[in-house]
Amino acid sequence: MKTRYLEILVIVLFSAMGARADTIDIVFDSPTLTGSPGDTLAFFGTLTNSTGIPVYLNSDNFNLSGLPFSSVNDLLNNVPLFLDSSGSPAYTSGDIELFDITIPSGQAPDSYNGSYALFGGADSNASDPVGAANFAVNVQQQASVPEPDTFALLVLALAWLAIARRRAVWLLPAAKHPGKMPQR
């Protein structure tokens, strides 16, 4: 009887070791990006097939809390149609741009968490979840650009004009200035 329990335990352990929730590993270059309202943030990453069979990548999905979904630019056209089995040359996408997020003007400064998921499977019609990864967008307060003091700019412009005029008079020959006599 103990042998039977041991066999069941070994089978359960080996089956759990081989089980993976995701077949495609999504690794962001930087999972957290920071910007100000109006900025567009580009999320780059690598997709890797961790299975022994080809996996088709047919669609993706976003879940982003607190930012409007209209600000997400899905770049699924950068994602390959499928990733070959692990160990082959085409098992990874290399570094690609996965999606862009434009921070809407007037967005409150805060950290917004999101997730990116890929769907696909054994053929071009499959829609099984094949990979997911979390990311974050940190919105910072937009830096205000101070307006230069108008009086200081006016004084600087007048000083520059006076210096330029004085140099122009010294550079011109004396014959062109009838009121000035050449010095001997």
Q: Looking at the domain assignment, is residue 81 inside a domain?
A: yes
Q: Looking at the domain assignment, is residue 53 inside a domain?
A: yes
Q: Looking at the domain assignment, is residue 9 inside a domain?
A: no
Domain of residue 118, CATH code: 2.60.40.10
pLDDT of residue 31: 96
Three-state SS sequence of 25-88: EEEECCCEEEECCCCEEEEEEEEEECCCCCEEEEEEEEEECCCCHHHEEECHHHCCCEECCCCC
Q: Looking at the domain assignment, is residue 11 inside a domain?
A: no
Q: Looking at the domain assignment, is residue 94 inside a domain?
A: yes
pTM: predicted TM-score of the whole model, two decimal places: 0.64
**Rounded CA gap, 34 and 41, in Å?**
8
Q: Looking at the domain assignment, is residue 159 inside a domain?
A: no
**Rounded CA gap, 135 and 17, in Å?**
27
Cα 118 to its chain centre, rounded Å, is 18
Smallest CA-to-CA distance from 84 within 24, 136, 129, 37 is with: 24
Smallest CA-to-CA distance from 104 within 68, 152, 65 is with: 68
Domain that holds residue 39: 22-139
Q: Looking at the domain assignment, is residue 173 inside a domain?
A: no
pLDDT of residue 16: 40
The pair of three-digit structure tokens given for residue 31, joined into one six-digit string = 């999972």
Element (H, E) at 96: strand 92-102
The mean pLDDT values, 10 residues at a time, for the chain of 184 residues are 51 42 86 92 91 88 77 71 79 89 88 92 92 94 66 74 69 55 56
Element (H, E) at 133: strand 128-139
Q: Name the domain count of the chain.
A: 1
Q: Is the dihedral of CA 157, 159, 164, 166 positive or negative?
A: positive
CB-count exposure of residue 60 (10 Å: 0-12, 13-18, 19+): buried
* Degrees to nearest 5, angle at CA 122 with 119 and 128: 30
Q: Looking at the domain assignment, is residue 56 inside a domain?
A: yes
pLDDT of residue 141: 84
R_g of the chain computed on alpha carbons? 32
Half-sphere exposure of 5 (CA within 13 A, CB side): 2
**Rounded CA gap, 153 and 145, in Å?**
16
